[in-house]
Amino acid sequence: MLRHADVWNAIDNLARRKGMSPSGLAKKAGLDATTFNKSKRTTRDGKLRWPSTESVSKVLAATGTTIGEFLADIIRAEGNSLQRIPVIGYTQAGAEGFFDDAGYPVGAGWDEISFPDVSDPNAYALTVSGDSMEPVFRDGDMVVVSPNASIRRGDRVVVKTVDGEVMAKELVRRTAKRVELHSLNPDYEDRTLAPEQIAWMARILWASQ
């Protein structure tokens, strides 16, 4: 699984390889110099604070580092292991034959990527296309989805309707009679669906950019 310390260590290792301090790495990426400071890695009450996907994306771009190289640092950390995760394009996800009734990936046509173990044997990845998820996820990003992860209000989720429509939204509220979803892109409308309209809903765990 992804561990807080391992992700931060990967950022520190990247800075060292480039001959910079974490502050220097942040500045090179156009971020506030304190973004990666030790004091920013936990809150005042001791809760873990993770680096944002956006900040990681910016330092990778600024240093010419691939997401694979960055993940390799995480994987090399003691106790981490690789998981082979199936991956398809976001637009393919609405087609028949790629998911069973529970929303688990099945059938042929999937590629595979190596990813740190997410403790879900049914996890998969979708490659984003189009602008419907901007600015959170952009065309070409890859999102890792866990069908078995618990879903709470505020989580970003992938939803497939019984009509075959696939969408990525933020869960606002879920009751016995309706599921309210907020669009990540303000140019697209929010959605409210009845539970019987939803084939499956799964939580987005991670995004690579």
7-26 per-position pLDDT tens digit: 898 999 999 999 999 999 99
How do residues 190-206 score in pLDDT, each as one tens digit?
999 999 999 999 999 88
For the stretch 125-174, pLDDT in tens is: 999 888 888 888 888 888 899 999 999 999 999 999 999 899 999 999 99
Own/partner contacts of 64-68, CB < 8 Å, gap of 24 or more, are: 65/14, 67/142, 67/208, 67/209
Distance CA 51, CA 143 (A): 16
Let me know whether 87 and 72 are in one domain.
no
3-state secondary structure (DSSP) of residue 110: coil
CA distance from start to end of the chain: 19
Does residue 102 sit in the same domain as residue 118? yes
pTM greater than 0.75 (yes/no):
no
Domain boundary among 26, 41, 76: 76
Q: Which two tokens stand for residue 180?
A: 């309210």
Question: Domain containing 69: what range?
Answer: 4-76
Tell whether 102 and 69 lie within a shared domain: no
Which residue carries 């929010």 as its tokens?
190
At 156 the pLDDT is 94
